[in-house]
Amino acid sequence: MAGPGMSGPGRVETPAAAPRTGPLGRVAALASAVGTAWILVMMVLVNADVLGRAAFAAPLRGVPEFVGLSIVGIVFLQAGHALASGRFTRSDALLDRLAAARPRAAAALDVVHHLAGAAFFAILAWALWPRLLRAIEAGDYVGAAGDFTLPVWPIRALMIAGSVLVIGLYLILAAAAARRVAGGRS
């Protein structure tokens, strides 16, 4: 199986090895770094909550709600960088064999894969948009009123922004694969 950056006979160039994703790739890297920092904040809060429960019988209010929303936000913050660096989950077994025998056919299959990925995230963003508007209008939140609440709309907005970022990256990768189909390298 080809790893990021590996190429040669029988190896398919992964997104990390082939196309450069330019400014959008840098935005994805920044979003991923924000997601990583968010994980660190979440770890500190969870540990403080556990310590508060065990040592003082006083948990931090809202930690379960914060963690629940955070996981979703972090996934969408880091999805673009995972794609741009060739670490998005996919099976390359067929693609590796096809690339050994017919590199252009493998690149064509890559075009289809990237366009399908862009379409999936476009459908996701489209489906999330009315939910974001509803969350803003209704003031949706998680938690218990009077104790601790967190608004839901920022996470929904992150989900849409992350989806749009992934769409852009998939389209860049599809264009690079299309250039490989046409005979050029990218």
Average pLDDT over residues 8-37: 75
Per-residue confidence (pLDDT) for residue 95, from 0 to 100 = 87
Residues 6+ apart with CB under 8 A from 68: 142
Q: What is the pLDDT of residues 86-104, one digit of tens each?
A: 998 888 888 889 989 999 9
pLDDT at 12 over 90: no
Per-residue confidence (pLDDT) for residue 92, from 0 to 100 = 85
Exposure string over 30-48, b if 16+ CB within 10 A, otherwise e: ebbeebeebeeebeebeee
Average pLDDT over residues 2-13: 45
Domain boundaries along the sequence of the chain? 22-181
pLDDT at 65 over 50: yes
Per-residue confidence (pLDDT) for residue 29, from 0 to 100 = 96
pLDDT at 160 over 80: yes
State the chain's mean pLDDT as an integer.
90
Per-residue confidence (pLDDT) for residue 186, from 0 to 100 = 52
Contact 37, 43 (CB under 8 A): no
pLDDT at 42 over 70: yes
Average pLDDT over residues 51-56: 96
Contact 94, 86 (CB under 8 A): no
Res. 126 pLDDT band, cuts 50 70 90: very high
